[in-house]
A and B are shown apart, each in its own frame.
Chain A
Amino acid sequence: ELKVEQNPLFLSMQEGKNYTIYCNYSTTSDRLYWYRQDPGKSLESLFVLLSNGAVKQEGRLMASLDTKARLSTLHITAAVHDLSATYFCAVDNYGGSQGNLIFGKGTKLSVKP
Chain B
Amino acid sequence: GAGVSQTPSNKVTEKGKYVELRCDPISGHTALYWYRQSLGQGPEFLIYFQGTGAADDSGLPNDRFFAVRPEGSVSTLKIQRTERGDSAVYLCASSLTIGGGADTQYFGPGTRLTVL
A contacts, CB < 8 Å to B: 4, 33, 35, 41-45, 48, 50, 88, 90, 93, 96-106
Given A43-B91, A43-B107, A99-B55, answer yes or no on A90-B99 (Cβ-Cβ < 8 Å): no
Residue of A nearest to B32 (CB): A99
Quick check: A45 and B98 within 8 Å, CB to CB? no
Quick check: B45 and A100 within 8 Å, CB to CB? yes
Given A100-B48, A103-B44, answer yes or no on A45-B106 (Cβ-Cβ < 8 Å): yes
In the complex, 22 of the A-B residue pairs with CB atoms within 8 angstroms, ordered by the A residue number, are: A42-B91, A43-B107, A44-B107, A45-B107, A50-B101, A88-B43, A97-B100, A98-B55, A99-B33, A99-B56, A99-B98, A100-B59, A101-B33, A101-B35, A102-B45, A103-B42, A103-B43, A104-B42, A105-B41, A105-B42, A106-B40, A106-B42
| Contacting residues, chain A, for B50 (C-beta < 8 A) | 99
| Contacting residues, chain A, for B33 (C-beta < 8 A) | 99, 101
Q: How many residues of B contact A (CB 8 A)?
A: 30
Quick check: B105 and A45 within 8 Å, CB to CB? yes
What separation, in Å, do the CA atoms of A43 and B55 have in the docked complex?
A: 23
What separation, in Å, do the CA atoms of A60 and B58 have in the docked complex?
A: 37
Given A42-B110, A45-B106, A50-B101, answer yes or no on A101-B91 (Cβ-Cβ < 8 Å): no
Given contacts A43-B93, A99-B48, 5 further A-B contacts (CB under 8 A): A90-B43, A97-B99, A101-B33, A101-B35, A103-B44
Residue of B nearest to A97 (CB): B99
What separation, in Å, do the CA atoms of A4 and B42 have in the docked complex?
A: 10
Min C-beta distance of B59 to chain A, whole Å: 7
